[in-house]
């Protein structure tokens, strides 16, 4: 007797409510299912099912054995899924959510490279700065930029970025250069409205943490708009280094008050569960971690 197949047949009969439907679910004949269950009852020396012309029902022994079989079969399925996730090929659709600016600047060039490595994978990439519900909205993976990732999700840190206060040389020539955070009260501030601290900007100064409440003349949920306005000499911005490092290197923006450093944010890959991580998700996370091991925007 194939004990494993007999257990599967027994559970299928109970769950389906009939031998015919169980046979359909298992893609075998009704006679095979009936034989497996009969052999199982003979092997155990007890009756598991009460059979009448109208219905099937479990005996007391059948109820106990059915519960144990469900647990054992679930454990086997989980073990198979775990091994497959470790050794299987990456294939299928990857639904990914990423922040808008980071997605355009640093992730967009990577999707094609990953597909070259894993040609059986395709992407559905959504760019949004709001925090999506990965499970509810069906995402395999999200990239999030925050001080700490959500405690309800599994995460892997890919890199880090820090917030930089900067402005254009032309603006500074016109308005003067702030020397300390308190000086920002006398400057035109262009604010990213989704910043965790809102209008309060936080720094690590020479003598410890410093916070200052700004009075923005412009608020926007687009970091790209803040950057563009700063490049157009309109005021002071606080933006992540991954957005402005090239501008700082080119001299089109100037970092202000470098002795007062903006907070550091982690860049994380987050996903719903540690169990049964599909090969496509695991390989994408490894690829992103490799790609950002030495980020272009590093100080």
Dihedrals phi, psi of 248, to nearest 5 degrees:
-65, -40
Q: What is the pLDDT of residues 100-145, one digit of tens each?
A: 999 999 999 999 999 999 999 999 999 999 888 888 888 999 999 9
Provide mean pLDDT across the span 152-178: 94
- Contact predicate 88/96, CB 8 Å: no
Q: Pull the structure tokens for residue 278.
A: 């599909």
Q: Residue 179 domain-assigned?
A: yes
Whether residues 151 and 171 fall in one domain: no
- Contact predicate 144/207, CB 8 Å: no
- Contact predicate 287/110, CB 8 Å: yes
Provide mean pLDDT across the span 56-78: 87
Q: Which domain holds residue 146?
A: 92-160+265-291
Q: What is the CATH number of the domain that holds 50?
A: 1.10.10.10
Of 1, 268, 249, nearest to 144 by C-alpha is: 268
At 138 the pLDDT is 86
At 243 the pLDDT is 96
Whether residues 57 and 21 fall in one domain: yes
> Quick check: 78 pLDDT over 80?
no
Whether residues 76 and 28 fall in one domain: yes
Whether residues 77 and 144 fall in one domain: no
Q: Pull the structure tokens for residue 263.
A: 């907070």
Give the chain's domain count. Answer: 3
Q: What is the CATH number of the domain that holds 188?
A: 3.40.190.10
At 106 the pLDDT is 96
Q: Residue 299 domain-assigned?
A: no
> Quick check: 82 pLDDT over 70?
no
Q: Residue 296 domain-assigned?
A: no
Rg (CA), the chain: 29
Whether residues 187 and 233 fall in one domain: yes
At 37 the pLDDT is 92
The span from the CA of 37 to the CA of 197, in Å, is: 64
Q: What is the pLDDT of residues 250-286, one digit of tens each?
A: 999 999 999 999 999 999 999 987 666 888 999 999 9
Whether residues 271 and 156 fall in one domain: yes
Whether residues 13 and 143 fall in one domain: no
Neighbours of 135 (CB within 10 A): 11
The span from the CA of 206 to the CA of 185, in Å, is: 20
Residue 165 pairs in a beta bridge with 238
Q: Pull the structure tokens for residue 89.
A: 């090929």
């Amino acid at each position: 007797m194939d004990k494993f197949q007999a257990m599967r047949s027994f559970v299928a009969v109970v769950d389906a409510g009939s031998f015919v439907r169980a046979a359909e679910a298992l893609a075998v004949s009704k006679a095979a299912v009936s034989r497996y269950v009969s052999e199982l009852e003979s092997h155990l020396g007890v009756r598991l099912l009460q059979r009448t012309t109208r219905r099937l029902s479990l005996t007391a022994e059948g109820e106990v054995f059915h519960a144990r079989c469900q647990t054992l079969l679930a454990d086997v399925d989980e073990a198979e899924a775990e091994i497959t996730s470790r050794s299987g090929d990456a294939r299928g659709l990857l639904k990914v959510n990423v922040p808008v600016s980071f997605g355009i600047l640093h992730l967009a060039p990577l999707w094609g490279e990953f597909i070259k490595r894993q040609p059986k994978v395709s992407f559905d990439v959504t760019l949004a700065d709001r925090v999506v519900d990965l499970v509810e909205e069906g995402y395999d993976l999200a990239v999030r930029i925050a001080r700490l990732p959500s405690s309800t999700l599994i995460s892997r840190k890919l890199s880090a970025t820090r917030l930089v206060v900067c402005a254009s040389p032309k603006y500074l020539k016109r308005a003067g250069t702030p020397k300390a955070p308190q000086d920002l009260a006398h400057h035109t501030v262009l604010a990213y409205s989704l910043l965790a601290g809102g209008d309060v900007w936080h720094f690590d100064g020479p003598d410890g943490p410093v916070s200052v409440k700004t009075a923005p003349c412009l608020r926007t949920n687009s970091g790209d708009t803040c950057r563009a306005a700063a490049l157009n000499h309109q005021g002071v911005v606080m933006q992540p280094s991954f957005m402005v490092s090239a501008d700082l290197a080119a001299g089109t923006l100037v970092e202000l008050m470098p002795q007062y450093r903006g907070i550091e944010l982690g860049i994380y890959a987050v996903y719903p569960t540690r169990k049964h991580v599909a090969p496509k998700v695991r390989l994408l996370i490894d690829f992103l971690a490799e790609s950002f091991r030495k980020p272009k925007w590093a100080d």
